[in-house]
Amino acid sequence: MISITVNGTRHEIDIEPDTPLLWVLRDVIGLTGTKFGCGVAECGACTVHLDGQPLRSCSAPIGALEGASITTIEGLSADRSHPVQQAWIAEDVPQCGYCQSGQIMATVALLQQIPDPTDADIDGNLTNICRCGTYERLRRAVHRAADMMKA
C-alpha cells in the first residue's frame, strides 16, 4: 500500500510502485482534470503540484511518492475562483483547452516563486506546450493573475 494525500484527502493505494502518478490520479482516484499529453514529461499537460512544487505526473512513479501531498487542478479551487483561473477566463486563454490544467498549475507555481514575473520570466519558466499557440494570451493572463494576487 502506498499512501498519498491528494487535494487534502488521504488515499491508500494498492498498485504497482512503478505506475505513474498520472494514472493513479485519473484511473484509481478518478480525478480526470490532469491530462495525458506525451508520457515523457516534455509537454506539461500532466502538471500537478507535489508538496507545492510543479511535477509532471506522467513520469513520477507512485512508489517514490509515499507520504506526498499532491494538488491537482480540481484541488486548486472548487469554483474556479483562484486568481489564475479567473485570469485565464478573463483573457480567454484556451483555444482547444487540452493543456490548460497543466498550464494553470505551472503558472500557480511560477507566481509563488516570482510574484511579478516579466515576459522573460514567463517564457523561461513556463515550459508547457500549447499546440494551439495561445502564448500571448497566456502571458497576459499570467500578468493579470499576478496583479490580482497582489491586490
Q: How many domains does the chain have?
A: 2
pTM comes to: 0.96
Together in a domain, 7 and 56: yes
CA 140 → CA 12, 22, 121, 134, 136, distances in Å?
Answer: 40, 29, 13, 10, 6
Together in a domain, 12 and 31: yes
Q: What is the CATH number of the domain that holds 29?
A: 3.10.20.30
Instruction: Report whether pLDDT(151) > 90.
Output: no
Cell 523561461, residue located: 124
Together in a domain, 64 and 98: no
Together in a domain, 37 and 54: yes
Using alpha carbons only, give the angle 13, 105, 16 rounded to the nearest 5 degrees. Answer: 20
Contact 88, 122 (CB under 8 A): no
Together in a domain, 123 and 93: yes
- Domain of 41 in residue numbering reads as 2-76
Helix, strand, or coil here: 2? strand
| Model confidence pLDDT, tens digit, residues 60-119 | 999 999 999 999 999 999 899 999 999 999 999 999 999 999 999 999 999 999 999 999
Per-residue confidence (pLDDT) for residue 84, from 0 to 100: 98
Together in a domain, 72 and 107: no
Q: Are strands 69-71 and 2-6 parallel, antiparallel or unpaired?
A: parallel
